[in-house]
Every structure is written in structure tokens, then in C-alpha cells.
Amino acid sequence: MSIERTAFLLLASLLLTAPALAQAPATLRVDFYHSGNHEIEMFSLDQVVLEPLPWTGNMHYPIDETLRGKYLFEITDPENGDVAWSRSFSSIYGEWETTREAKQMNRTYHESVRFPAQADEFELVLKKRNAQNQFEEIWRLPIDPNDYMVHRESAAYADRVIAILDNGDPATKVDLLILGDGYTQEEHDEFVAKARELADVLFATSPFKERKDDFNVWALAPASAEPGVSRPSTNTYRDTPIGTTYDAFRSERYVLTFDNKSMRRIASSTPYDFIEILTNTEVYGGGGIYGLFSTAAANNEWAPYLFVHEFGHHFAGLADEYYTSAVAYEPPASIVEPYEPNVTALLDPAELKWKHLVVPNTPLPTPWPKAEFEEHSIAVQKRRAEMRAANVSEEEMNALFRYTKEFTEELFSKSQYRDAIGAFEGANYEAEGFYRSEQNCLMFTRTDYFCRVCAAAIEDVIDEYTQEKP
């Protein structure tokens, strides 16, 4: 029996026998519009959706204990305020409001939250971090899950779902959905092969390697009319099923989809907790937003790095540790301790968030060849921008990246604290004021390993999705 047929039968079983499978609740989704600018923020309901498959999340952890996102939603009892479910997340709007454009105009983004269906009326409470990174309520919405206006979604793409890795009941596993965008029907086998290849890369990387048995991986690629996705800066436009595009926030390498509604409708045909979108493109690019999705250019030489790095953002809420590349975000008005687990403002070295991993007598801040790295990296970024403007071949760009990787590895190999855990200045897009835990990490350069702090943060999320509470 083919793997494709096996996946289809499994999904059919979930659809037909969901009440009998550990009495899993149904999956409810609230779609809404998130609007505003850098000063005001507004929300409006689009629709409440009953998805076709039962809930796949871990019912042993109804309350989020990692709290990695900019936002937090809670499902509360309107009578007593008890919280039945909560999860933190980040969003495209949350990133956009920090860009220069948000000071010039209003915009609206479509967003969703998903959770186990409730039997009776409840309130959806949305909270956002304030200037001190504490959560404050910003929207409250009463919902009747038995209202006849709740939309019933069908598993319209169930027959295209392929099981890449099947380790058992989705309710006790992390379910990763690999979506393909920009693949024609004739290229479907290429997508499946690439999904398998990159899943193998993920599970060859610690700590995913050691926790492989805790994951299921599904693959789904709705057929596109033509290959590729949009890249507006080069007048390349594609009308793809998921709507993935380069040039998000006018950053040439940032790849996102702004068509959340289509993505959710397609994804609901399979069990999923996390989504990574593979674009049928060669040009370097990707993106990752905590609790939303990650993306990677599947045909690029650096696809293995992009896949894992961007998944680190989406899965574990890891911050970028690099700081010399151009980004669309405005610098923060003031330095406060970031909520991401792998960067710090080091406002109080005695309270360093990973101090339990620091060997005594390690200096904080920790010395590293910062000046030499910055001189090289800034020159490379200038050259990179010139090469993109000249529309050079991707092989020339890859050669530049290979050169940078070799230079960095040689430079770092001579550093006194190359293997230490400490506080290395330069992270979170800023050369000063933010620190990372180790000299190098997959979230800093195009290396192939996570630092120990990032690895521990990843394991915390895996536990929350798979373990019973102690």
C-alpha cells in the first residue's frame, strides 16, 4: 500500500471516528482581522470555523507555560473568568507595526487562533505585551460555539496529504505540516522528495534528532497553475494556492504569505500543530513567525539551513541572533529584557536567564572577535545588496555565502571563549545592547547546530506538546 494511500486512510479514520479516539474534542478556529498603525490597534471578527479534524494538541497542557510570543489568547468562562485554554503567538501584524510603513498608513491582516472546541459559550480574550513585555488585554469577544453561523469546513485536500513521518496518535505527538507552494501537478513528486529531504535534515539536527519519535510529519501541496511564487521586486508574480511571496515588508529575502485564510483552509485537511511552507524557488529566502508558520526556498543551496533556522523561529519563538543584515524593523525606543529565550539585554548579569549554564568565572559580557566579524560582515552585506541590485545568478550569491561561512568559522575557531556559554554582545538585529548565549549558533550564522540555550528552549516546546504534566 502506498504511503499516500496510507495517509489518506488515516485521515479518513480521524474524520469518521474522532469521538472514539481518546474522546478528542473537535477543533475550533476563530478568524479575525487585525488592523491599525503604530499608534492604534483594532480587531474585528471574520468567522468562527469548526475544522474537519479533531484537536491534535496536548490536552495535558491547556495553559501555555512557555509564553514565547508577542500576543497571548485565552479561552475563558464568561461567568467566573476561569481559563480553559491559552497559547502565546506572534503575528505578521505584530512585526509590521514596528516598520516605517506603520507610521505612514493603516493596514489590515487576517489572523487566526485555534483551540479545542468548547461545549458552551465562552470568551476569547486577546492580550499583548506592553512596553515592559507584560501581557495586557486588548480585545475580548463572546462566542457561542453552537451558533448556526459557525462555519463547517471540509477536508477538501485530504486526498493529497502524504505521511512523511508517522509516529502515532496526533494527540500525543508534535504534528508538523510541510506545505508546498508554487508546485504544479507535474512537480508534485519533486515536492514530496524535497519535503522528505528537509525533514531528514531537521531530524539530523539536535535536539530534534533525539526527539524524532515525538513528531509526525505530513506533506501537502495544492497544485499551482505555474511553477514558482511571487517576487515583486523582479516583476515576478504568481497566483499560487497559498499566496507565498518574497519581498515581505520590502525585504527582498523575506518570504511570507499574507493569505492566512487560504492557508488555514488548506491546512485543516490534515492534523497540524506547526506549518513550514516550501516555495518552489531557487532564490535565497525564508521567514518564520512564532506559532504562525515558517517558510524556506526549497531549491536554494542553503535550503537545509533555511528550513531549520526559520523553523526555530516558528516552533520555539527563538529570536534572530544576527545583527549586521538589513531588516525592515525600526530599532526599539528603549532596551528592555526581551521575552525570547535566546537573547538578553543583560540589564542585571546576576539574573541572566541562562545563568545556570554559565561556568563560574566566565566574564559577562563575554569577549569574542566582534570588531573583526563586523568589519567582514558589513562589507559582505554591502556586496550582497550590490549583487541583488545587479540581479546576479544565484550561484554567485551562494559563493558569497560560502565565503562568509568559511571566514566566520576560521575567525571563531581562534576565539578564547568559542565553546563557552556567556553573554556575547550583538543579537536581535542590534550591535549593542543585546546579547546571545554563545559565540555561534544556527540562529546567528549559517552553521548547522543550535547553541545549548536554543536547544533547551526547543525541548521545552516539544515537552509541552507531547508530555503529561509531572
Q: Tell me the backbone φ, ψ of residue 468, rounded to 5 degrees.
A: -80, 150
pLDDT at 400: 97
Residue 35 CB-density burial (10 A; 0-12 exposed, 13-18 middle, 19+ buried): middle
CB atoms within 10 A of CB 1: 6
- Max Cα distance, the chain (Å): 67
Q: Convert the chain into a string of H (helix), E (strand) and C (coil).
A: CCHHHHHHHHHHHHHHHHHHCCCCCEEEEEEEEEEECCCCEEEEEEEEEEEEEECCCCCCCCCCCCCCCCEEEEEECCCCCCEEEEEEECCHHHHHCCEHHHHCCCEEEEEEEEEECCCCCEEEEEEEECCCCCEEEEEEEEECCCCCCCEECCCCCHHHCEEEECCCCHHHCEEEEEEEECCCHHHHHHHHHHHHHHHHHHCCCCCCCCCHHHEEEEEECCCCCCCCCEEHHHCECCCCCCCEECCHHHCCCECEECCHHHHHHHHCCCCCCEEEEEECCCCCCEEEECCCEEEEECCCCCHHHHHHHHHHHHHHCCCCCCCCCCCCECCCCCCCCCCCCCEECCCCHHHCCCHHHCCCCCCCCCCCCHHHHHHHHHHHHHHHHHHHHCCCCHHHHHHHHHHHHHHHHHHHHCCCCCCCCCCEEEECCEEEEEEECCCCCCCCCCCCCCCHHHHHHHHHHHHHHHCCCC
pLDDT at 168: 94
pLDDT at 54: 96
CA distances from 321 to 134, 351, 390 (A): 22, 20, 28
Cell, residue 434? 543585546
For domain 20-153, give the fold. Immunoglobulin-like (2.60.40)
pLDDT at 334: 84
User: Domain 158-319+460-465 in CATH: superfamily?
Assistant: Collagenase (Catalytic Domain) (3.40.390.10)
- What parts of the chain have a pLDDT lower than 70? 1-22
Q: Tell me the backbone φ, ψ of residue 146, rounded to 5 degrees.
A: -100, 5
Domains 20-153 and 158-319+460-465 equal at CATH topology level: no
Q: Which of 291, 242, 220, 272 is nearest to 53 (CA)?
A: 272
pLDDT at 329: 79
pLDDT at 6: 46
Cell, residue 139? 480585545
Domain ranges of the chain: 20-153, 158-319+460-465, 343-449
